[in-house]
Amino acid sequence: MLYLLGVVVIALGILISVSLHEAGHMLTAKRFGMKVTRYFVGFGPTVFSFRRGETEYGLKAIPLGGFCKIVGMTPQDDDVEPADQHRAMWRFPVWKRTIVMSAGSITHFALALIAIWLAAIFMGLPNPEYPTTNDEARREPAAINVQDCVVVENVARACQPGDPVSPAAQADLRDGDLITALNGTPIGTYGDLLTTLRSTPPGRVTVDYVRDGVPARADVTLAQVQRAPLENLAGPVGPVAAFGVDLDVQKPAMVTYGPVEAFGATGHYTGQLAVGTYEAMKRIPQKVPALWTAITGGERDKDTPISVVGASRLGGEALEAGVWQILVFLFISLNFFVGIFNLLPLLPLDGGHIAIAWFERVRSWIFTRIGRPDPGRVDYLKLMPLTYAVILVGGAFTLLTVTADVVNPITLFSR
């Protein structure tokens, strides 16, 4: 039941976000005097609609988005009545059209920023000082958390009956103990501990550590497990020694803030999100083969893109596991990604319309300066082949991600 609820929450959050995106277009267009004839949530057959003034509002049967119709978006549109010619969108100044077309993405950014600020106050944001990568973790002091068991196979999962007891637990080591040497080899960081363990065969070793400022020594019998090389986690799996510990970071993973402090934390987290989104978008083309591999029976790379289906499934899994905070971060990430993606200078995205509007403006300015006639507006009909190509590629990519999310979904927790 919780899984289904999580799926519904994420799907509904996406639908509301897209509906507000279209409302951003509509409200700014109306504010500037453009004519908006339709605003609908969903696609397909109309469930119901009503008219207020010159605009028809309604709900359609397929809840996968929404749209609003602004009269005369391009000079080639034939939906402009003679009495409305002066209200056609393409006749308005370029800065007004830019605001209208970017209002959708601005709405997504606003939703993400508000959610981040609220999360900073009531839920907490990731601690900037907390190690979030393997490299950062390995630079931390070798303070340990003692696990209950060691998992022999090379998978990430919780302990199960039959798993060997953690060697560290058997040796009465405790959470927070700082490892300083292993079989006489000095240990300065958690990375040193991992590297030394990998070069040590399973069996009996001596471990020097500090507890509450007092040095001590323990005899530990290292277990044998199957792991990939540290420098290549996708490499061949082989037998190595295991201590049964992980990193004990002496910093909270999440930090909450006061309402004023939350503004600074929101800015910092947004900057990280922007960089992460940019890097993720750059990797999309190279992840297409990995998606195909996942569909055809291979392992699903956790770094591959996901669709609305995949995001909803992750939301369900998170809520089922009691980690509801993940739903909030999914909502934030999705809104931020859609906001940026929608501004790409490609038709039929809003960014494509903005790019053309400014191209027209700059071109007119240049022609005026060199004493040549204004070449006028761009002919959108000549751009239709490129537009169709973008739609085709986007549709194929969406189908690929949806299929992968159905047949081989990314999961938060190993089952």
pLDDT digits 0-9 by tens, 181-224: 999 999 998 889 988 998 999 999 999 999 999 999 999 999 99
Q: Which helix (H) or strand (E) holds 208?
A: strand 203-211
Most distant CA atoms of the chain, gap in Å: 90
C-beta atoms surrounding 371 within 10 Å: 6
pLDDT in tens, 22-55: 999 999 999 999 999 999 998 889 999 999 999 9
What is the C-alpha to C-alpha distance for residues 157 and 151, in angstroms, rounded to an integer? 8
Q: Which helix (H) or strand (E) holds 295?
A: helix 261-295
| Residues in the chain, overall count | 415
Angle at 64 between CA 79 and CA 41, to 5 degrees: 50
The mean pLDDT of the chain is 88
pLDDT reported for residue 415: 47
Selection from 233, 225, 261, 229 nearest residue 151 by Cα? 225
The amino acid that residue 243 corresponds to is F
On the CB side of 30, CA atoms within 13 Å amount to: 16
pLDDT reported for residue 132: 67
| Structure-block tokens of residue 403 | 């299929």
CA 89 remoteness from chain centre = 34
Residue with the larger pLDDT of the pair 276 and 110: 110
Using the 8-state DSSP alphabet, how is residue 21 labeled? H
Selection from 168, 192, 169 nearest residue 180 by Cα? 192
Residue 290 has pLDDT above 70, yes or no: yes
Residue with the larger pLDDT of the pair 284 and 136: 284
Residue 96 has pLDDT above 60, yes or no: yes
Q: Three-state SS for 165?
A: strand
| Structure-block tokens of residue 230 | 């540290």
| Structural domains of the chain, ranges and CATH numbers in brackets | 90-129+256-415 (no CATH), 134-247 (2.30.42.10)
Q: What is the pTM of this model?
A: 0.79
22 noted as active-site residue: yes
On the CB side of 207, CA atoms within 13 Å amount to: 30
Residue with the larger pLDDT of the pair 237 and 182: 182
Residue 170 has pLDDT above 90, yes or no: yes
pLDDT reported for residue 65: 82
Max mean pLDDT range (105-114, 295-304, 307-316): 105-114
Residue 165 has pLDDT above 70, yes or no: yes
Average pLDDT over residues 283-312: 85
Average pLDDT over residues 295-313: 84
Give me the catalytic one of 22, 129, 231, 360: 22
pLDDT in tens, 369-412: 888 888 888 888 888 899 999 999 988 998 999 898 888 888 87
